[in-house]
């Protein structure tokens, strides 16, 4: 297992990973994905052999807040601790932040095991450029 920080992965593999979990619409284009990563504060790839097995990214001010996004583990490598490793590694890059936020549809139990709780406020979003 090899962890690589903040280095652009093979974008074809990353898009395949997004595709495997059905995150297609805005991720299905190499230029778009590259722009996302070049403007992300922290991201991490975990490789098993040459396969991109897990990925995650974080936007943060390193003091107050951090936002986790696109935490994903290849379906062939789940329940081995990789998802937890991605989240814990990203948070360790901003040890002073007071709150880490994220949204999830299906993985709330995974995040609760890591220490996350349901927010005390109502999450809001505004979908622009769908």
Ligand X SMILES: CC(C)(COP(=O)(O)OP(=O)(O)OC[C@H]1O[C@@H](n2cnc3c(N)ncnc32)[C@H](O)[C@@H]1OP(=O)(O)O)[C@@H](O)C(=O)NCCC(=O)NCCS
Interacting residues toward ligand X by CB under 6 A: 21, 71-73, 78-84, 102, 104, 106-107, 109-110, 113
Question: Closer to ligand X at the Cβ: 63 or 78?
Answer: 78
SS3 17: helix
Q: Which is nearer to ligand X, 31 or 127 (CB)?
A: 127
Q: Is 87 exposed, middle or buried (0-12, 13-18, 19+ CB in 10 A)?
A: buried
Report the 10 Å Cβ neighbour count for 97: 18
**Minimum distance from CB of 115 to ligand X (Å)?**
12
Output the CA–CA distances (angstroms, integers) from residue 49 to 1, 20, 53, 81, 85, in the order listed: 7, 19, 9, 16, 17
Q: How far is CA 87 from the centre of its chain?
A: 7
- Report how far residue 62's alpha carbon sits from residue 99's, in angstroms, rounded to the nearest whole number: 10
Q: State which residue has the least CB distance to ligand X.
A: 83
CB-nearer residue toward ligand X: 20 or 63: 20
Nearer to ligand X, 11 or 85 (CB): 85
């Amino acid at each position: 297992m090899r962890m690589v920080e903040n280095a652009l992965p093979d974008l074809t593999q990353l898009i395949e990973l997004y595709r495997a979990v059905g995150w297609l619409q805005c991720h299905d284009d190499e230029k778009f994905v590259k722009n996302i990563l070049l403007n992300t504060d922290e991201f991490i790839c975990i490789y098993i052999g040459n396969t991109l097995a897990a990925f995650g990214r974080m936007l943060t001010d390193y003091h107050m807040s951090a936002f986790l996004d696109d935490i994903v583990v290849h379906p062939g490598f789940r329940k081995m601790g990789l998802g937890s490793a991605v989240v814990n590694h990203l948070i360790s890059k901003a040890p002073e932040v007071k709150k880490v936020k994220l949204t999830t549809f299906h993985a709330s139990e995974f995040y609760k095991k890591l220490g996350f709780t349901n927010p005390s406020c109502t999450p809001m979003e505004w979908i622009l450029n769908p």
